Amino acid sequence: MRHVAGLIFAVLLAVAPIPGQASLPAGSGPRIDPVRYRLDPARSTFMIHANRSGLAWFRGKSHRIGAKDFGGEVSLVPDALNPASLELTVRTASLEETDPIFTEQEKGIIKKELDEIVLETAKYPEIKFKSTDVKGSIAQGAFDVEIGGDLTLHGVTKHITIPARVTLEGNSLRAVGEFDINRKKWGVKATTAARGLVRVRHTIKFKFDIIGTRI
């Protein structure tokens, strides 16, 4: 009887967790830490498309506003959707007209209006996006995702969803996608021309082709 009790005690010791050490669920593998990528603006494009309505002349033409100064970080686990995250910051003062349809003089006027009227860059120096959730699927090494998160623009923060296609190659990450917002919800003004007959539409489109380098 004493021999049986000793045997049971030994078995219990063998299967009991060591104090201070968490036990892993059956079949679980080792934890894989996310890989981090720093966004590279020199190899990336981040554009804002603001289309006109009304008559088409000068500021009533459609605009292609490019961000020259932005940064951020992507974190993800290869071959898995989660955990994953995206943080992006755009310096509003770096936004400028890029469409060759405008002359350099016209681009200068548009830049002044962007800084002083539309974005008020001195008061709101940054546009920020921070993800809160990532959904999607993985196929043939590519991630087709919907990134939910908070967009802060013109001092207003609202939740949006950004669809994107993410691919990995070597030490590089590439994310391509686009999304729309209603500028009025963020309190963003638009300039007009021809006594108000020309104006920028409420909906503006963001397009991005972003490259990140593994940290």
Predicted confidence at residue 29, as pLDDT, reads 55
Reference 141, options 164, 167, 163, 165; nearest CA is 167
Contact 73/214 with Cβ under 8 angstroms? no
Which class would CATH give 34-214?
mainly beta
Q: 138-193: per-residue pLDDT in tens? A: 988 799 999 999 999 999 999 999 999 999 999 999 999 999 999 889 998 776 54
Confidence band of 60 (pLDDT split at 50, 70, 90): low
Predicted confidence at residue 201, as pLDDT, reads 64
Angle at 57 between CA 55 and CA 60, to 5 degrees: 70
CA distances, 130 to each of 88, 92, 96, 160, 207 (Å): 7, 17, 23, 10, 17
Q: Can you say how many angstroms the Cα of residue 65 is from the centroid of all Cα atoms in its chain? A: 17
Residue with tokens 């021809």: 194
Predicted confidence at residue 25, as pLDDT, reads 47
Angle at 106 between CA 102 and CA 107, to 5 degrees: 75
Q: What is the mean pLDDT of the chain?
A: 81
Predicted confidence at residue 200, as pLDDT, reads 56
Average pLDDT over residues 130-137: 96
Domain ranges of the chain: 34-214
Q: What gap in Å lies between CA 86 and CA 39, rounded to an integer?
A: 10
Q: 31-52: per-residue pLDDT in tens? A: 678 999 999 999 999 999 887 6
Confidence band of 195 (pLDDT split at 50, 70, 90): very low
Predicted confidence at residue 22, as pLDDT, reads 41
Predicted confidence at residue 80, as pLDDT, reads 87
pTM of the model: 0.77
Q: 90-130: per-residue pLDDT in tens? A: 999 999 999 998 899 989 988 998 899 889 999 999 999 99
